[in-house]
């Protein structure tokens, strides 16, 4: 684990954030030699979690399609129910696309 002072953080914030984001580095921030904060990479979902997320989305689409033509359904309510369990911001890394 590396550390940077507040002044260095101010001068090189973009580079420091890149190291955390791309390299998975954890960086302590120091002020007058004492650690005052730690920047850690956001935990990413596993491939299994991502696959399960998309399976659930596909099931939801099939369920909606199965009800078309029958009684009216509340699509918004169904989607909100799914979002309560999985929010894309928590589940998906930037620029991720499902495999075909």
Residue 56 belongs to some domain of the structure: yes
Residues 34 and 53 in one domain: no
Residues 35 and 55 in one domain: no
Residues 53 and 82 in one domain: yes
Residues 30 and 52 in one domain: no
Residues 84 and 51 in one domain: yes
Question: pLDDT digit string (tens) for 14-31?
Answer: 999 999 988 889 999 999
Q: What angle do CA 93, 97, 100 make, to 5 degrees?
A: 145
Q: Is the pLDDT of residue 87 over 60?
A: no
Q: Is the pLDDT of residue 71 over 80?
A: no
| Residue 24 phi, psi (nearest 5) | 70, 20
Question: pLDDT digit string (tens) for 33-69?
Answer: 999 999 999 887 788 888 888 898 888 888 877 777 6
Q: Is the pLDDT of residue 88 over 60?
A: no
Domain that holds residue 60: 47-91
Q: Where residue 31 sits, what CATH number does that domain have?
A: 3.40.1620
pTM: 0.46
């Amino acid at each position: 684990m590396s550390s940077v002072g507040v002044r260095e953080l101010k001068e090189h914030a973009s580079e420091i954030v890149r190291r955390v984001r791309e390299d998975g580095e954890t960086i302590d921030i120091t002020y007058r030699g004492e650690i005052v904060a730690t920047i850690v990479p956001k935990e990413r979902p596993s491939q299994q979690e991502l696959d399960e997320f998309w399976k659930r989305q596909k099931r939801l689409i099939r369920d909606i399609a199965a009800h078309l033509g029958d009684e009216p359904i509340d699509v918004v309510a169904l989607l909100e129910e799914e979002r309560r369990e999985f929010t894309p911001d928590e589940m998906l890394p930037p620029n991720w696309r499902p495999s075909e």
